[in-house]
Amino acid sequence: MRGFVQCAAALAAFMVGQTLASPVARSLPGPVQVTPKTGDVVITPKNFLNGTWKGNDTSKSEVVHSAAISGTLPIEIVNNLAGSSSGSINAYIQGRDTSGAIVFVLADGSFYYPPGTSSGVPVAISEDLAIPLGAQGTTTSITIPNYLISGRVYFAVGDLTFYMVSGGLVQPSATNPSDASANLNWGFIELTNDPTAGLFTNISYVDFIGLILGMSLTSTDGTVQTALGLTADAVDSICTSLASQTASDGYPWASLCQTSTSGAYLRVLSPNDYISTDGSAFSDYWSSYISKVYSTYASNPLTINTQNTPGNVTCTTGGSSIMTCEGSDVTFAEPTAGDIFGCNSGPFAVTGNAVDTAVVPRLCAAFHRGTLLLPGGNLQPSLSADNYYTTSPCNYYSKFVHEKEVDGKGYAFSYDDVNPDGENASGELTSGSASLLSITVGGPST
């Protein structure tokens, strides 16, 4: 497609009688430099936590001091960030309490309920919400005093800004380069500690990679689960690889990276999050591959192993742009780039029966990994992970993220758990009897 556009431009130049010079070096897409602005708030589902607030007397918000009740979760935070001094990194713990009210945990271990607002204009929270960490090599302990729902533990080199708005809490946004916190190196883990379901905590790269975090979860029976995160150099390394990919195919992989006002790499957005800021990026990236896939499986079937009751189902296109899978009550039209990167729209919005539910993750994962036209790719999933990302097009963000994972844990796209052998790259740790959550900041402990 790009070649065609260039030819058309050259033809146009010829037609107006200009002499064709040797090709002009076209500038390649590069990283996005942040431009933080106080009060530049963009609210999306990814940086908004809905919730109620406790009271409306802003002069004294209710503070509940840590009582020794079940629901307490001790956290140890190990600072491995090279060169960081005491107080240079802050943690922020927030979520909803069991009544649905927005709550933070302050440095003294108490719950703090920020004053709410019925205004649609976000109001920055003025209370000091930061939990300062010790210097590199030290461990900081903090206990969450009670159950916390839809929680996040943020970490930042510097001070993050949170806002209250009608309906809930506004968090820093990775996709807004003008966010008040955009020039800071920050990241988070997600955490829900529910009275009935227990603790669920995860590290995910489905949206972005920021400050490098890892974790391990110990239960009262002594078992330890880990999701150790990425190597300390992951952001720089992934951005270098993405810039090389742009140099090779011209697509804006390099623009997934954001740089600080001084030009250092800060974070990497997933292609799905990046295209939410630039709808035309990557729009034709998969086009010819999709056409080849749909013509390859005209009458020779693509078999989807549902790994569940429907068994193996066969899918064919009859040479059209609609794929039909045996037993599915919906069909699968050719996806767009946005459908592939998000795996949740167009043919990948699950709206049908159990076959649809099984086909969507497996078909979408196969596009991300570029396995649909490999030998053996007519059965999905079946190829081992060493076949993933070996052909272009594929999701290079996912390829490079996995190369930097310390223990293979952490999804880089939403159906990264699809595998032939039940192997699972989920960065989720769960326990009904958690006794300690340990988090590393700035890279794994060696």
Ligand X SMILES: *[C@@H]1O[C@H](CO)[C@@H](O)[C@H](O)[C@H]1NC(C)=O
Q: Which one, 47 or 79, has the nearer CB to ligand X?
A: 47
The residue from 139, 426, 435, 436 that contacts ligand X (CB under 6 A) is: 426
Residues 52-81 that bind ligand X (CB under 6 A): 52, 56
Nearest alpha carbon to residue 102 among 120, 85, 115: 115
CB of 310 to ligand X, least distance (A): 9
SS3 (DSSP) at 346: helix
The 3-state DSSP class for residue 312 equals strand
Least Å from the CB of residue 128 to ligand X: 24
Find the helix or strand (DSSP H, E) in which 13 lies.
Answer: helix 2-15
Only segment of 23-31, 122-130, 157-165, 420-428 that touches ligand X (CB under 6 A): 420-428
How far is Cα 330 from Cα 81, in angstroms, rounded to an integer? 49
Q: Looking only at residues 330 through 389 of this chain, which bind ligand X when binding is defined by CB under 6 A?
A: 379
Q: Which of residues 200-259 bind ligand X (CB under 6 A)?
A: 200, 202, 204, 206
- Residue 379 CA to residue 420 CA, distance in Å, equals 10
Q: What is the DSSP letter of 225?
A: E
Shortest CA distance to 2 belongs to which of 19, 18, 22, 26? Answer: 26
Question: 357 CB contacts (<8 Å, ≥6 apart)?
Answer: 350
Residue closest to 93 by CA, chosen among 104, 108, 79: 104
Q: Are 61 and 113 in contact (CB under 8 A)?
A: yes
Residue 46 vs 135, nearer CB to ligand X: 46
Within 8 A by CB and 6+ apart from 74, the residues are 141, 142, 143, 435, 436, 437
Q: Whole-angstrom Cα distance, residue 235 to residue 230?
A: 9
Per-position x/- string for 182-201, each x denoting binding to ligand X as judged by CB under 6 A, each - no binding: --------x-x-------x-
Nearer to ligand X, 97 or 339 (CB): 97
Query: Which one, 226 or 424, has the nearer CB to ligand X?
Result: 424
Q: Does residue 33 touch ligand X according to CB under 6 A?
A: no
The label of the residue with tokens 């189902």 reads 313
Residue 305 near ligand X by CB under 6 A: yes
41: burial class by Cβ within 10 Å (0-12, 13-18, 19+)?
buried
By three-state DSSP, how is residue 364 classified? helix
Task: Locate 232 and state its tokens.
Answer: 């300390």
Rounded least distance, CB 238 to ligand X, Å:
19
Residue 218 or 246 with smaller CB distance to ligand X: 218
Q: Which of the stretches 51-59, 170-178, 242-250, 252-260 binds ligand X when contact is defined by CB under 6 A? A: 51-59
If the CB atoms of residues 193 and 255 are measured against ligand X, the closer one turns out to be 193
Give one DSSP letter per residue of 73-116, joined into a string.
Answer: EEEEEEE--TTPPTTSEEEEEEEE-TTSBEEEE-TTS-EE----
Residue nearest ligand X, Cβ-based: 100
Residue 104 or 285 with smaller CB distance to ligand X? 104
Q: Would you say 183 or 218 has its CB closer to ligand X?
A: 218
Compute the least distance from the CB of residue 60 to ligand X, in Å: 13
The residue among 194 and 284 lying less far from ligand X, judged by its C-beta, is: 194
Q: Does 51 contact ligand X by CB under 6 A?
A: yes
Identify residues 84-103 at the interface with ligand X (CB under 6 A). Answer: 96, 100
Tell me how many residues contact ligand X (CB under 6 A).
Answer: 21
Residue 282: left if φ>0, alpha if ψ -120 to 50, beta else—which one? left
Q: Which stretch in 48-56, 70-78, 245-253, 431-439 sits in contact with ligand X by CB under 6 A?
A: 48-56
Q: Longest Cα pair distance anywhere in the chain, in angstroms? A: 83
| Minimum distance from residue 350 beta carbon to ligand X (Å) | 14
Please report, as ranges, the residues that interact with ligand X according to CB under 6 A: 50-52, 56, 96, 100, 190, 192, 200, 202, 204, 206, 305, 311-312, 379, 411, 417, 424, 426, 428
